[in-house]
Structure 1
Amino acid sequence: MGAESSYVPRYVDRALDLLLGELPAVMLTGPRGCGKTTTALRRATSVMRLDRPEEAGAFRAAPDAVLGAQPTPVLIDEWQAVPESMGAIKRAVDSGSDAGRFLITGSVRARLDPAGWPATGRVVPLAMSGLTVGEIERRVGAVEVIEQLFGDQDPTVVTLEQVFSLIDYVDHALRGGFPDAIGLGDFARAAWYDGYADQLVRHDVSDLAEVRSPSGLAALLRAVALNTAGMPTLATLAEAAGIDHRTARTYLDLLEDLRIIERIPAWTTNRLARMVKTPKYYLLDSGLAAHLAGDTRAGVLKSGDRLGRLIDTFVLAQIRPLLRLSTPTVTVHHLRDGNQTREIDLVLESASGQIVGIEIKAANTVDARDARHLAWLRDQIGAAFQRGVVLHTGSTTYPLGERLWAMPIAALWQGRSSRDG
């Protein structure tokens, strides 16, 4: 009872249960420490931990026999420690079609593994991220916010039931979303992040590929953290890390595969000419980004650039898991024109081509001028533009113009609480 009551409901819970009700094998993906195993364990009858040498050794010796002996649903934890495990899962799925047999956690490395990915069509991935504020506050109704942004009904002019100050947002961003780090004090959290980064650079990446310069990889990760929510060139990142361009590109692929960084692609359309095509870089966790960049509450409050990057990274961390659970899926992009005069932080695109533009402002009040780039995009693409939103650190939702709205950042999670039923 105690373990059950202490579990923090995750946005992916409902999706995971639906998938396991119809599919034989589901893989939870996400960065190490985001809660994949905790979520999977609640649904598993048996567990195989392949990062334990004794269990990995037995599995390597007789993968089909060992897997077949496990009561289902079986959790195969850290599958990449024994890559041949995926072949055994494939064969087991091919031999029977019962739903909910296998839960898998670990890295998705199909594009990096020269042996290829044997489980296409057999194992369905489901992405997890770190904890969001909505999950911490048990506001599982927040999963509907993306559908509401794309819906035909306009937002309601309303003030938040729980007011957040700029400092509250900064503190949430500095804590990040790793369950083991959220409740720690500043000193202990910094030590935790140091250990996490060291484990990542010196051990986790080696599961995927040979890293000749761990120090270069660490420097590259810090360079991305310093540039989070920005568009540095590959040359800039490589120079900052002291490595060549080819090595930098390989290391960035590895970090993205481990779900530590994300490169948001530029949004393009034939209706707009001369748009920048450079991706926008993010660390997926704002707390890790802040730690690697040396950001503190006092420091970011004195620097508009650091504050903007931190809040931008934090907001995407709240939105990202919601996008993956939308039906149909919504993709995220950014937009900047070739003259560097117009920029939109996030461009959300539905499967049908509808667009929701999002600007993020670390300000308590915003006006129509803050939505001018959204208004420009609306006028350029017409009916495809569903809505533009300026997310701010104030407390009220209000209109800024035709299909343009100001909304508090906290409106992303102040939906129906799970305690409301």
Structure 2
Amino acid sequence: MQICHAMEYLQGMYTRQSNQIVESALKSQAAVVLLGPRQVGKTTLALDIASERASVYLDLERDADRQILIEPDLYLDEQAGKLVILDEVQQMPGLFKSLRGQIDRRRRAGFRTGQFLLLGSASNVLLQQSAESLAGRVRYIEMPPLQLAEVGADRSNTLWLRGGFPDSFLAGSDQASMAWRLDFLRTYLERDIPALGPRIPAATLRRFWTMLAHVQGGLLNAAALAEGLGVSGQTVGRYLDLLVDLMLVRRLQPWHENVGKRLVKSPKVYVRDSGIVHALLGIENTEGLLGHPVVGGSWEGYCIEALLAAAPTGTEPFFYRTSAGAELDLVLRLPGSDIWAIEIKRTTAPKVSRGFHTGADDIKADQKLLIYAGERDVPVADGIRATPLEHGVRLLRAL
């Protein structure tokens, strides 16, 4: 269908940083794949970009739009010179070979960049589908939920409580936000995940997701999870792979460089959106959150997602822990090989642990930060600064 060029953002929507990233990528690449969980704002962003140029938009979850692409080349040949936006493109995996031919023919006709914007909500599925067919022709961009830099530091506590899905964050009350997130969970479990193929009972997957929320930021203990669910460790691995692929869970790998220490080898696991953590645990308001045992893990996960969203493309995240007690909540290996050691504490007292000092020395960190709940940026030890989350985000965005 043709794009309406008068399309506007939903009232109250924040300008997304991903918009500029996608616009820039379209100027240099023939195709851009925008990845992100459902309801994160991909379609709104794509339609906003489309409103500035000649474009067409197809939602491949709609039967009518899939019918248009039964003979893809016949339709796409007519759209040469336009930006073609294909939403939920993983629904038609056979389309990628046609897109490769389209891109190559358009290049010969002089249309080298900004031809296709492909939206998808399953990262590994899309990467596998597109990697061979579109090699050298595509850039992949992950769109996170709303971030601190987009909503402002004064709304940090609201963003932490409600999470960054726009409809949850912008809800008229905490109760309305919680209701939206519960509906989101139900829809994912009962409709969206089965549509991808896995036949997993919704109640079982919800229990698994909730178990992960209870141990937010803990080391993965597949045996304990398997016992709690009454399934095999292999099945737990399959459930985790699915939620990671849907960009709903982060599996943070341990630092693996040989530093002559006995390193913890299990990954840490985080439910990526703090609002989803709180919905799974029934935490409805700030008072309930601050009194809940998960408060520390929730804050840590919230900060990690904000920092990783701000980090330069190509940054590799890890954590570091040894059997002797050295520990770093987050290690970032930046493009160019600089290493940042980061400790995250929900405290107003800017003090780092002995384990942080040891860990930072072990990995030879170039930058050492304590992200804490205070308001000032202050030195706490030789070469270590304590800084609020928003300042840590600005440091990474400036790189």
Q: Could you tell me which of 11, 23, 29 is aligned with 1:17?
A: 23
Normalising by structure 1, report the TM-score.
0.83
Tell me the CA shift for residue 114 of structure 1: 8.7
Q: Could you tell me which of 292, 309, 314 is aligned with 2:297?
A: 309
RMSD over aligned Cα, in angstroms? 2.5
Identity percentage over the alignment?
A: 27
Q: Give the 5 Å matches for 1:360-375.
A: 360-367=344-351, 370-375=352-357
* 8 A Cα contact 1:43 1:73, kept in partner: no
In structure 1, runs of 5+ residues without a counterpart are 138-161
Corresponding position of 1:351: 335
Take 2:355 and 2:198, find their aligned partners in 1: how far apart are those partners?
44
For residues 333-362 of structure 1, give each alpha carbon's deviation from its aligned partner in whole angstroms, at most 9, with x where no partner exists.
1111124x2221111112333211111111
Q: Say which SS state the counterpart of residue 405 (structure 1) adopts.
A: strand
Take 1:353 and 1:19, find their aligned partners in 2: how far apart are those partners?
24
For residues 147-198 of structure 1, give each alpha carbon's deviation from its aligned partner in whole angstroms, at most 9, with x where no partner exists.
xxxxxxxxxxxxxxx7x6xxx7543311100001112222222221121112
* 8 A Cα contact 1:374 1:404, kept in partner: no
Q: Does the alignment pair 1:101 with 2:115?
A: yes
Q: Does the alignment pair 1:267 with 2:255?
A: yes
Normalising by structure 2, report the TM-score.
0.87
Take 1:111 and 1:102, find their aligned partners in 2: how far apart are those partners?
15
* 8 A Cα contact 2:283 2:289, kept in partner: yes
* 8 A Cα contact 1:225 1:292, kept in partner: yes
Take 2:12 and 2:75, find their aligned partners in 1: how far apart are those partners?
32
* 8 A Cα contact 1:129 1:321, kept in partner: yes
Take 1:395 and 1:117, find their aligned partners in 2: how far apart are those partners?
48
Tell me the CA shift for residue 20 of structure 1: 0.7
Q: Could you tell me which of 366, 373, 384 is aligned with 1:404?
A: 384
For residues 108-137 of structure 1, give each alpha carbon's deviation from its aligned partner in whole angstroms, at most 9, with x where no partner exists.
334896998533333221111000121123
Aligned length, in residue pairs = 378
Q: Does the alignment pair 1:62 with 2:67?
A: no
For residues 213-272 of structure 1, give each alpha carbon's deviation from its aligned partner in whole angstroms, at most 9, with x where no partner exists.
222212111111222211131122223333322222112111111111110100122124
* 8 A Cα contact 1:134 1:413, kept in partner: yes
Corresponding position of 1:124: 139
Take 1:104 and 1:111, find their aligned partners in 2: how far apart are those partners?
10
Q: Give the 5 Å matches for 1:359-398.
A: 359-367=343-351, 370-382=352-364, 385-398=365-378
Corresponding position of 2:3: none
Tell me the CA shift for residue 406 of structure 1: 0.6
Q: Say which SS state the counterpart of residue 396 (structure 1) adopts.
A: coil
Q: Indicate the structure whose relative CO is greater, using CA pairs within 8 Å and at least 6 residues apart.
A: 1
Q: Could you tell me which of 182, 195, 214 is aligned with 2:169?
A: 182
Q: Say which SS state the counterpart of residue 109 (structure 1) adopts.
A: helix
Take 1:322 and 1:115, find their aligned partners in 2: how far apart are those partners?
26
In structure 2, runs of 5+ residues without a counterpart are 1-5
Corresponding position of 1:42: 48
Take 1:272 and 1:174, find their aligned partners in 2: how far apart are those partners?
40
Code of the residue aligned with 1:313 in structure 2: it is G
* 8 A Cα contact 2:90 2:125, kept in partner: no
Corresponding position of 1:136: 151
Tell me the CA shift for residue 390 of structure 1: 0.8
